Protein backbone atom coordinates (compact mmCIF):
# COMPACT_ATOMS: atom_id res chain seq x y z
CA UNK A 1 0.00 0.00 0.00
CA UNK A 2 1.38 3.40 -0.99
CA UNK A 3 1.98 5.97 1.69
CA UNK A 4 0.36 9.30 0.87
CA UNK A 5 2.56 12.32 0.87
CA UNK A 6 1.53 15.32 2.95
CA UNK A 7 2.57 17.58 0.10
CA UNK A 8 0.49 17.51 -3.02
CA UNK A 9 1.18 19.50 -6.14
CA UNK A 10 -0.97 22.58 -6.36
CA UNK A 11 -2.54 23.74 -9.61
CA UNK A 12 -1.14 26.88 -11.18
CA UNK A 13 -3.35 29.77 -10.09
CA UNK A 14 -3.03 33.52 -10.21
CA UNK A 15 -2.75 35.74 -7.13
CA UNK A 16 -6.35 36.85 -7.58
CA UNK A 17 -7.55 33.25 -7.77
CA UNK A 18 -5.58 32.42 -4.61
CA UNK A 19 -7.22 35.35 -2.81
CA UNK A 20 -10.66 34.15 -3.90
CA UNK A 21 -9.94 30.57 -2.77
CA UNK A 22 -8.81 31.78 0.66
CA UNK A 23 -11.95 33.91 1.03
CA UNK A 24 -14.15 30.92 0.17
CA UNK A 25 -12.29 28.59 2.56
CA UNK A 26 -12.49 31.14 5.38
CA UNK A 27 -16.19 31.73 4.68
CA UNK A 28 -16.84 27.95 4.72
CA UNK A 29 -15.00 27.66 8.04
CA UNK A 30 -12.40 25.25 6.64
CA UNK A 31 -9.53 27.64 7.43
CA UNK A 32 -9.38 30.23 10.17
CA UNK A 33 -8.32 33.73 9.20
CA UNK A 34 -5.64 33.67 11.92
CA UNK A 35 -4.08 30.56 10.28
CA UNK A 36 -3.73 32.51 7.05
CA UNK A 37 -2.21 35.44 8.95
CA UNK A 38 0.27 33.13 10.71
CA UNK A 39 1.25 31.48 7.43
CA UNK A 40 1.88 34.87 5.83
CA UNK A 41 3.91 35.96 8.86
CA UNK A 42 6.02 32.78 8.61
CA UNK A 43 6.56 33.43 4.91
CA UNK A 44 7.61 37.05 5.55
CA UNK A 45 10.05 35.91 8.25
CA UNK A 46 11.51 33.29 5.92
CA UNK A 47 11.99 35.86 3.15
CA UNK A 48 13.69 38.28 5.60
CA UNK A 49 16.02 35.52 6.85
CA UNK A 50 16.92 34.49 3.31
CA UNK A 51 17.64 38.10 2.32
CA UNK A 52 19.91 38.53 5.35
CA UNK A 53 21.80 35.36 4.49
CA UNK A 54 22.15 36.45 0.85
CA UNK A 55 23.46 39.85 1.94
CA UNK A 56 26.02 38.16 4.18
CA UNK A 57 27.09 35.93 1.30
CA UNK A 58 27.21 38.93 -1.02
CA UNK A 59 29.58 40.79 1.29
CA UNK A 60 31.83 37.72 1.58
CA UNK A 61 31.77 37.12 -2.15
CA UNK A 62 32.38 40.76 -3.11
CA UNK A 63 36.08 40.49 -2.30
CA UNK A 64 36.42 37.19 -4.11
CA UNK A 65 34.55 38.43 -7.17
CA UNK A 66 36.89 41.37 -7.67
CA UNK A 67 39.76 38.89 -8.01
CA UNK A 68 37.90 36.54 -10.36
CA UNK A 69 38.13 36.64 -14.16
CA UNK A 70 34.40 37.40 -14.23
CA UNK A 71 35.06 40.84 -12.74
CA UNK A 72 36.24 42.30 -16.05
CA UNK A 73 34.66 42.23 -19.48
CA UNK A 74 37.86 40.76 -20.90
CA UNK A 75 37.72 37.93 -18.38
CA UNK A 76 34.12 37.16 -19.23
CA UNK A 77 34.99 37.10 -22.93
CA UNK A 78 37.87 34.74 -22.27
CA UNK A 79 35.62 32.33 -20.36
CA UNK A 80 32.92 32.32 -23.03
CA UNK A 81 32.80 29.13 -25.09
CA UNK A 82 33.85 29.48 -28.68
CA UNK A 83 31.32 28.34 -31.25
CA UNK A 84 32.45 25.30 -33.16
CA UNK A 85 32.76 25.97 -36.86
CA UNK A 86 31.51 23.62 -39.51
CA UNK A 87 34.31 21.71 -41.22
CA UNK A 88 34.78 21.75 -44.95
CA UNK A 89 34.23 18.70 -47.15
CA UNK A 90 38.00 18.46 -47.67
CA UNK A 91 38.59 18.42 -43.91
CA UNK A 92 35.91 15.76 -43.44
CA UNK A 93 37.46 13.59 -46.16
CA UNK A 94 40.94 14.00 -44.66
CA UNK A 95 39.66 13.00 -41.21
CA UNK A 96 37.87 9.97 -42.60
CA UNK A 97 40.98 8.91 -44.49
CA UNK A 98 43.06 9.32 -41.31
CA UNK A 99 40.59 7.13 -39.43
CA UNK A 100 40.73 4.43 -42.10
CA UNK A 101 44.52 4.62 -42.11
CA UNK A 102 44.74 4.21 -38.32
CA UNK A 103 42.25 1.35 -38.42
CA UNK A 104 44.25 -0.40 -41.15
CA UNK A 105 47.66 -0.14 -39.44
CA UNK A 106 46.39 -1.03 -35.97
CA UNK A 107 46.68 -4.76 -36.52
CA UNK A 108 50.10 -4.65 -38.18
CA UNK A 109 53.47 -5.36 -36.61
CA UNK A 110 55.93 -2.53 -35.99
CA UNK A 111 57.97 -3.51 -39.04
CA UNK A 112 54.89 -3.55 -41.26
CA UNK A 113 53.76 -0.22 -39.84
CA UNK A 114 57.11 1.30 -40.75
CA UNK A 115 56.73 0.04 -44.34
CA UNK A 116 53.20 1.47 -44.57
CA UNK A 117 54.45 4.76 -43.17
CA UNK A 118 57.03 4.97 -45.96
CA UNK A 119 54.33 4.18 -48.53
CA UNK A 120 52.18 6.96 -47.08
CA UNK A 121 55.04 9.46 -47.40
CA UNK A 122 55.76 8.53 -50.98
CA UNK A 123 52.36 7.60 -52.45
CA UNK A 124 49.70 9.08 -50.13
CA UNK A 125 47.11 7.94 -47.63
CA UNK A 126 44.94 5.87 -50.01
CA UNK A 127 47.91 3.83 -51.23
CA UNK A 128 49.04 3.30 -47.61
CA UNK A 129 45.57 2.08 -46.61
CA UNK A 130 45.51 -0.37 -49.54
CA UNK A 131 49.00 -1.65 -48.67
CA UNK A 132 48.11 -2.04 -45.00
CA UNK A 133 44.98 -4.03 -45.86
CA UNK A 134 47.01 -6.22 -48.18
CA UNK A 135 49.64 -6.84 -45.47
CA UNK A 136 46.93 -7.61 -42.90
CA UNK A 137 45.33 -10.15 -45.26
CA UNK A 138 48.68 -11.97 -45.66
CA UNK A 139 49.25 -12.20 -41.90
Per the prediction, the chain carries an average pLDDT of 85
Please report which confidence band the pLDDT of residue 11 belongs to, taking 50, 70 and 90 as the band edges.
confident
DSSP-derived secondary structure for 19-37? HHHHHHHHHHTSS-HHHHH
Higher pLDDT pick, 56 / 120: 120
Q: What is the dihedral of CA 27, 29, 34, 39, to 10 degrees?
A: -90
pLDDT tier for residue 92 given thresholds of 50, 70 and 90: very high
pLDDT digits (tens, 9 = 90+) for 106-132: 999 999 999 999 999 999 999 999 999
What span, in angstroms and rounded, lies between the C-alpha atoms of 118 and 83? 38
Amino acid sequence: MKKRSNRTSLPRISAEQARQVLNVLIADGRIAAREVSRALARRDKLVRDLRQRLNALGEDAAGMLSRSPLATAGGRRALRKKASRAITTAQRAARQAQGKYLGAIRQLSKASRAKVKEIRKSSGVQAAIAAAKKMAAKA
